Amino acid sequence: MSTPAPRQRFHEGTTIEDLKAYMTPFVVQLGYVFNDDTEFVDEVLSSELEILDQTGDVYCPCRVRTGDPKEDLKVVCPCIPFYADQFAKLRKCWCGLFVLHDVEDGSELHGVIDVPEGPADVPVARVESFPDGTVRTVRIGRREVALARVENDFYALGNVCRHAFGPLGQGFVEGHTVICPWHGWRYDVRDGTTDHPDADVKTYPVTVRDGYVIVTV
């Protein structure tokens, strides 16, 4: 019995330039750009195209696939949201295809794989893309955080409502309060407190730098 061909998730004939055009608008929103070492970038993307032909998707060439489709989604390039805290410390993605927007020489980061200890300052959104009076869920590695903009200040708090685990990032903003979309529990975005007993959520420091919202985790 022959093995079926993998489902192709990009058009036949996809090129390196196609991948660059496809990935750039996404990674820019997360605070990253392509490494300025263009020869290295083309080498990595060429490897991804080979993997695409074999598997049907552009898996990261330096991450091991498990065979579990849900797990392997975390190593489809660009995989930045799934490892955002690690990559923020490294100042690049694992292989160095992407570097933080303020890195001056991406070639200096080749081979760096030791993740420093301590907190990570993670860019999660561009200020211009986040309207005032809104909240959304952002992924930072294994965490999901509710990010809110209120009166042009940004706040980050745990995404899970302590009542029935509703996603606060899909809720509503009323003043300095985020309202859970499931049952209406209310949390103060400034300190994560709620009127219900023993149900407060964690908050995270937020800064704005170079037009990006930075959450410290």
- The structure tokens 């805290």 sit at 85
The mean of the pLDDT values for the chain is 93
Structure confidence at residue 4 as a pLDDT band (50, 70, 90): low
pLDDT tens digits for 42-78? 999 999 999 999 999 999 998 889 989 889 999 999 9
Q: Against a cut of 0.85, is the pTM above it?
A: yes
Superfamily of segment(s) 16-109: Ferredoxin thioredoxin reductase catalytic beta subunit (3.90.460.10)
Q: Do domains 16-109 and 121-216 have the same CATH topology?
A: no
Count of CA atoms in the C-beta half-sphere (13 A) of 145? 32
Superfamily of segment(s) 121-216: Rieske [2Fe-2S] iron-sulphur domain (2.102.10.10)
pLDDT at residue number 132: 96
Cα gap 179→22, rounded to integer Å? 35
- Domain positions in the chain are 16-109, 121-216
Q: How many residues does the chain have?
A: 217
CA–CA distance from 205 to each of 122, 127, 213 (Å)? 11, 16, 11
pLDDT tens digits for 146-191? 999 999 999 999 999 999 999 999 999 999 999 999 999 999 999 9
pLDDT tens digits for 105-121? 999 988 877 888 999 99
